[in-house]
Amino acid sequence: MSENFDVKLDGKSYLPDPSVKEDAWIKDYDKVYAESVKDPEAHWGKVAEELDWFKKWDRVREWDHPYAKWFTNAKLNISCNCLDRHIFDGRKNKVALIWVGNDGKEEVITYRQLYREVMRFANGLKSLGVVKGDRVCIYMPLVPEQIIAMLACARIGAVHSVIFGGFGANALRSRIKDAQAKIVITADASLRRGKRLDLKSIVDEAVVNTSSVEKIVVLRRMTPAMELFSEIEVDFYEIMEGVEKECEPEVMDAEDPLFILYTSGTTGPAKGIVHACGGYMVGTYYTTKTMFDLKEGDVMWCTADPGWITGHSYIVYGPLAVGATILISETTPDYPDPGVWWDMIEDFDVTVFYTAPTAIRMFMKLGEEWPEKYNLSSLRILGSVGEPLNPEAFEWYYRVIGKGKCPVLDTWWQTETGMHMITTVAGEPMKPGFAGRPVPGIVADVVDEGGKPVPPGTGGFLVIKEPWPSMMRTVYNKDERYRQYWTTIDNYYAAGDLAVKDEDGYIMILGRSDDVLIVSGHNIGSAEVESALVSHEAVAEAAVIGKPDPLKGDSIKAFVILRMGHKPGDKLKLDLVYHVRMNLGPIAIPSEIEFVESLPKTRSGKIMRRLLKAQELGMDPGDVSTLED
Ligand code: ATP
Ligand code: MG
Instruction: Read off the pLDDT band of 4 (50, 70, 90).
Output: low
Per-residue pLDDT of 362-409, as tens digits, reads 999 999 999 999 999 999 999 999 999 999 999 999 999 999 999 999
- Classify residue 608: in a domain, yes or no: yes
Ligand nearest the Cα atom of residue 434: 1
Mean predicted confidence (pLDDT) in 585-608 = 94
Which of 250, 285, 310 is the endpoint of a domain?
A: 250
Nearest-atom number in ligand 1 for the CA of 511 is 20
- Classify residue 395: in a domain, yes or no: yes
Average pLDDT, the chain: 95
The pLDDT of residue 25 is 97
Tell whether 542 and 506 lie within a shared domain: no
* Cα(48) to centroid(ligand 2), Å: 28
Tell whether 581 and 530 lie within a shared domain: yes
Tell whether 239 and 284 lie within a shared domain: no
Give the domain CATH number at 577: 3.30.300.30
Is pLDDT of 525 > 70?
yes
pTM score of the predicted model: 0.96
- How many structural domains does the chain have? 3
How many CB atoms sit inside 10 A of residue 2's CB? 10
Mean predicted confidence (pLDDT) in 6-12 = 75
Per-residue pLDDT of 450-474, as tens digits, reads 999 999 999 999 999 999 999 999 9
Tell whether 520 and 501 lie within a shared domain: no
* Cα(386) to centroid(ligand 1), Å: 5
Instruction: Write out the residue range of the structural domain in which residue 105 sits.
Output: 79-250
Tell whether 506 and 523 lie within a shared domain: no
Is pLDDT of 585 > 90?
no
Is pLDDT of 629 > 80?
no
The pLDDT of residue 276 is 98
Tell whether 176 and 204 lie within a shared domain: yes
Per-residue pLDDT of 168-193, as tens digits, reads 999 999 999 999 999 999 999 999 88
Tell me how far apart the alpha carbons of residues 477 and 485 are, in angstroms, rounded to a whole number. 15
Instruction: Read off the pLDDT band of 5 (50, 70, 90).
Output: confident
- Classify residue 628: in a domain, yes or no: no
* Cα(375) to centroid(ligand 1), Å: 32
Tell whether 49 and 132 lie within a shared domain: no
Tell which wins on pLDDT, 23 or 163.
163
* Cα(66) to centroid(ligand 2), Å: 18
Tell whether 335 and 284 lie within a shared domain: yes
Ligand nearest the Cα atom of residue 305: 1
Pocket of ligand 1 (CB under 6 A): 263-268, 270-271, 309, 385-388, 410-412, 414-415, 435, 495-497, 509, 512, 604, 606
- Classify residue 71: in a domain, yes or no: no
Which of 234, 250, 266 is the endpoint of a domain?
A: 250
Which amino acid, residue 45? G
Ligand nearest the Cα atom of residue 416: 1
Instruction: Read off the pLDDT band of 1 (50, 70, 90).
Output: low
Which of 451, 481, 512 is the endpoint of a domain?
A: 512
Tell me how far apart the alpha carbons of residues 429 and 18 are, in angstroms, rounded to a whole number. 10
Radius of gyration of the chain (CA): 24
Tell whether 172 and 301 lie within a shared domain: no
- Classify residue 144: in a domain, yes or no: yes
Give the domain CATH number at 401: 3.40.50.12780
* Cα(39) to centroid(ligand 2), Å: 29
Cβ 577 vs Cβ 544: under 8 Å: no
- Classify residue 73: in a domain, yes or no: no
Nearest-atom number in ligand 1 for the CA of 604 is 11
The percent of residues in the chain predicted with pLDDT above 90, rounded, is 90
**Those residues with Cβ within 8 angstroms of residue 502's Cβ, 6 or more apart along the chain or in another chain:** 9, 11, 431, 434, 456, 457, 508
Per-residue pLDDT of 280-335, as tens digits, reads 999 999 999 999 999 999 999 999 999 999 999 999 999 999 999 999 999 989 88
Tell whether 305 and 410 lie within a shared domain: yes
Tell whether 124 and 203 lie within a shared domain: yes
Tell whether 541 and 589 lie within a shared domain: yes
Tell me how far apart the alpha carbons of residues 277 and 132 are, in angstroms, rounded to a whole number. 13
- Classify residue 143: in a domain, yes or no: yes
- Classify residue 335: in a domain, yes or no: yes
Give the domain CATH number at 95: 3.40.50.980
Per-residue pLDDT of 42-64, as tens digits, reads 999 999 999 999 999 999 999 99
Bridge partners for 446 per DSSP: 462
